[in-house]
Structure 1
Amino acid sequence: MGEPASERAEKTALAIILAAFVALGIVYSVVVPPFEASDELWHYPMVKYIADHWDLPVQDPNNVGPWRQEGSQPPLYYAIAAALTSWIDTSDMEVARHLNPHVDNGVATPDGNINLVVHNPALESFPWRGTVLAVHLVRFLSVLMGAAGVYFTYRVAREVVPGDPAVGLAAAAVHAFTPMFAFISGAVNNDNLMVPLCGLGLWMLLRLAGEREWTTRQALARYLALGVVLGLGALTKTSALGMAVVTAVVVTVRAGGRRSWREFLLGGLAAALPMLLIAGWWYLRNLRLYGDLTGLNVFTQILGTRGVPADLAQLWRERHSFLAGYWGNFGGLNVPMPSWAYSLLNGLSLVALVGLLLCLCASASGLFRIGGGAVRRTFKPRRSRTRHTSDAGRAAPSSSGVRRTYTSPPPPRPASPRR
């Protein structure tokens, strides 16, 4: 029998969302001039350095390279991009990446001088070549990574709310068509690899938390695969290390629900070892070179610190710029959308929040049904632990004098005589 019509419709809708996102991302990648996407003018030099030397730069705040603070980022995204473009002669990078000395990066100035670089139409016209070709190839790769991130958002939503396909499709659509996400997906930026890796890791964690029928051995295979994903994420961006904390929680919850110290210890090791083998060398390198596992001490020295302390009052005053940066502030965060667009998107977010709260309050179990179905299945006792022994079937008085009946599973049926 073929798959139900509802499943075909769901797959078709998901395919349309992914195809539309890829098309939108490619449009962004082609239309936005090279190095005019946020921090692309720092990310791409890392790609070029690795492609030229197959080595990593050593950060020096007193002698900053063209990659600036991005040289302190984990290298996986840059290494993949370097492998894709290493055959291209990019010796013209300094010409194609001629920095505009008059731009105020991050500020939409009244004079309209918002270009991060001085553009050379002869270099940037199609057919692309040299550095411009390399940038566009990495951008195309990033669009595909963004599509993978959208897909895993769909999988996560389907895992959290398995009974409503519309939730998964809506989550994928919101992810795909958030303007800033589509814009960054069409740029050279290591976030483009971190997002799908974290989405995949979260999906795997939800499946681990919710699948109580897996034996410890079956779960260990999933923990090992999860550890590989965690390692790849940690080798892409340090913020992906937060997934390790979530993993520790899931291992503890799952092992606690099964009352299994064996799964707690082996599951934790199975997830941690691949992660350490894949990414540990990078953090040890940072410790050796900079005295800091993450290398963020040198990162902040190069990037610079805030002129105003980031207390809660100051962060609240900056909320509008945070929201604009989330929804869509293009170029070097100096090409904002119209103000009505932010008002509309913020309003829709408030409506969605109200809808979520109403959904959770609809019944006493709403919170668990929406957000904790996987955890609830984990703590459901296994059948082998619910069987009673010699007391089964006996009636016993309670302290209040009311008799309670303890039942046992029905006895096995006698075997039928052979004929």
Structure 2
Amino acid sequence: MGGTLPVAPWQTGAVTDTTPHARPAAPPSAVSTGTRPESRREARAPRPGPLGYRRALAALTLVVAAWGVLWAVVTPSFQAPDEQNHLGSVLRIAYGGGWPAPGDAYFAPAVVDAVDEAAYPSDPPGRFVHRPDVPQFVDLDPVPRDERTRVEAATALGDATSGTDVDQMTQHPPLYYALGAGVLHATGLTDARWDTATLALRLLDVLLLALTVPLAAGAARRVTGSPSAGLVAAVFPLFVPQLGHIMGAANNDALVVLACAAVTFLAARVVTGDLRWRVAVAIGLLVGLGLLTKVMVAFALPTVGVAYLLARGRPWPARLGRVGVAVAVAGVVGGWWWVRNVITLGAVQPVGRPRDPATVAQVPTDEVPSLIVEKLAQAFFGNLSWLEVRLPGGWVVLGSTVLVVVALVALVLPGARRASLVLLLLPASLAAGVAYNAWDAHGVTGGLVAVQGRYVFGGVTALAVVLAVAVWQLVRRSERGLARAVPLVVALALAAGGGGLVWAFGAFYRAPGESLGVGVDRWLAWSPLEPPALVAVLLLAALAVVGAVVACLAWPRRAVAPPS
């Protein structure tokens, strides 16, 4: 080829199958160069992948799942944003309490007892500022497991006469809570102890996170034509401690992350030439379902529109028609909820519980832009508990710098620029939405509120793909070189994932000067699980890590072997 670098198969004009189970793309001369992306060649079943790919991807998926489970058992109950609210809203649906209008939902008596037994509010030892007037978590004694409150019909629902506070979660649609209620019913945990029910919901969120891994891998492989790129994308979650913290908690953001991951995967297919009508319908269905969880999924629509705008293989009217179908389906499935809000409540998302402006710290106007950037970066990488435990700033700067460099490499170097632009629109749109909302609220309250990195986690899969594209570019798009880089990337991810957990454990359970043993004893006492179960969790996580290491060390040899 005269020394030129290879590009992604879809940029050659050839239509190839680069799904996660496909063989490496053939040279352009060996495939059809027709102009119909939805031809029979595109639509037929994918061929088996290179030897070991599915096993390596499965091993990495299990590692991410194990990482999420560890976060679920390490984070103390209700030491994650709004977790007690999410538990209460799940119980409301599980016990037939419906979905009251915003402001008309109340905490259940069982949840009020649970909050007290979880020692909330209290400050974890890793809090950024010590507050001597607030109870310290490490000074409190946990309620013995067999004495903790069990949920029952008489205490599972609250109302205006129960004397409890307003639960603002009904400002969102109920899909996540209905799913959580289904899990509690299916597992027989509707009448379990509150901490056991909370752990079940945490594990549901871990499952939703794990499902994003093959989607990220598939999108990266589609964009680059490289199975190794798929494995690089698969481990991206381990680099973001805050993602593990939030996805290891009971939180409706988990369903948003999965919905956006699925849309990201399909947008990658669209921009690389898959313009079948069924894809447009599937995108609309996924966006619509996401909109029945949170309004943030609407920020995926620019990604979808630009994906069709930049796709090749169909004239403008046909591509615009597919955008119209996707938007229409999304509106029918879930968009109607937000239209109804505007018509009946006068706002896209009503306020479930108004914030008292007197409790908001005032911020000078000239400091707002820089503080938004600083707080959003901090909260994206590491702001545990209720944004109280901060990852050291050096790591936040390093992570932010790497993301910026990765994005620039993917956008500047030829090979997958259009796809990278499309995918980066999602995290960029989410971040811009958070910044605008914070700026708008500042004009009302004088403070900065709702600057939370979890609101950008819908773009994590897109960032994972762009990371894979950047590494693919840095090895000069060589499959052999990228395969050799996979063990290094996985090793870095495992180190980051483990380091984040060690940091979190100390921040939650070890006061300054205390030994590791004291922290472990405190963790065992507060956990909903008995010590033997916790030991089993640690052993299974270790086995998952060993499996991933073995699979990835073997990957460079298997990646260049002839396909089976």
TM over 0.5: yes
Could you say what secondary structure the match of 1:205 adopts? helix
Amino acid at match of 2:130: T
1:102 CA displacement: 6.0
From 191, 205, 220, the equivalent of 2:277 is 220
Structure 1 pair 124–31 and aligned structure 2 pair: CA distance change class (3 A): farther
TM-score by length of 1: 0.67
- For 2:505, the equivalent position in structure 1 comes to none
2: CA distance, partners of 1:118 / 1:289: 47
Structure 2 residue 425 is matched with structure 1 residue 371:
no
Amino acid at match of 2:144: P
| Structure 1: stretches of 5+ with no match in the other structure | 67-89, 377-419
Structure 1 vs Structure 2: percent identity of aligned residues?
23
Structure 1 pair 141–350 and aligned structure 2 pair: CA distance change class (3 A): same
- For 2:130, the equivalent position in structure 1 comes to 109
Larger radius of gyration: 1
Asked whether the 8 Å contact 1:96–1:120 carries over to 2, the reply is: no
1: CA distance, partners of 2:252 / 2:211: 14
1:193 CA displacement: 0.8
Q: Deviations over 1:243-272 (max 9, x none)?
A: 122223333444x8622424523x234212
Structure 1 pair 157–312 and aligned structure 2 pair: CA distance change class (3 A): farther
Amino acid at match of 2:113: V
Structure 1 pair 102–91 and aligned structure 2 pair: CA distance change class (3 A): closer
- For 1:236, the equivalent position in structure 2 comes to 293
- For 1:184, the equivalent position in structure 2 comes to 246
Give the number of the structure with larger relative contact order, counting CA–CA contacts within 8 Å between residues 6 or more apart.
Answer: 2
Structure 2 residue 111 is matched with structure 1 residue 93:
yes
Amino acid at match of 1:301: P
1: CA distance, partners of 2:149 / 2:76: 10
From 346, 368, 372, the equivalent of 2:397 is 346
2: CA distance, partners of 1:303 / 1:149: 37
1:287 CA displacement: 2.7
106-115 or 322-331: which moved more?
106-115
From 189, 197, 209, the equivalent of 2:271 is 209
Could you say what secondary structure the match of 2:50 adopts? helix
From 329, 339, 356, the equivalent of 1:274 is 329
Aligned pairs for 1:9-408 (under 5 A) are 9-60=52-103, 65-66=106-107, 92-98=110-116, 103=122, 108-111=129-132, 113=135, 115=137, 120-122=143-145, 123=147, 129-163=192-226, 165-211=227-273, 219-254=276-311, 258-265=314-321, 267-295=322-350, 298-299=351-352, 301-302=354-355, 307-308=361-362, 313-317=367-371, 319-337=373-391, 339=392, 342-344=393-395, 346-347=397-398, 349-351=400-402, 353-354=404-405, 357=408, 366-367=413-414, 369-372=415-418
1:233 CA displacement: 1.1
1: CA distance, partners of 2:301 / 2:411: 28
Q: Deviations over 1:304-333 (max 9, x none)?
A: 695446857323145444333211222222
| Aligned residue-pair number | 332
TM-score by length of 2: 0.51
Asked whether the 8 Å contact 1:21–1:177 carries over to 2, the reply is: no
2: CA distance, partners of 1:49 / 1:125: 17
Could you say what secondary structure the match of 2:387 adopts? coil
1: CA distance, partners of 2:141 / 2:369: 34
1:3 CA displacement: 7.5
Could you say what secondary structure the match of 2:416 adopts? helix
2: CA distance, partners of 1:173 / 1:36: 26
1:160 CA displacement: 2.7
Task: Give the CA RMSD over aligned residues.
Answer: 3.8
1:155 CA displacement: 2.4
1: CA distance, partners of 2:278 / 2:105: 44
1: CA distance, partners of 2:261 / 2:419: 19
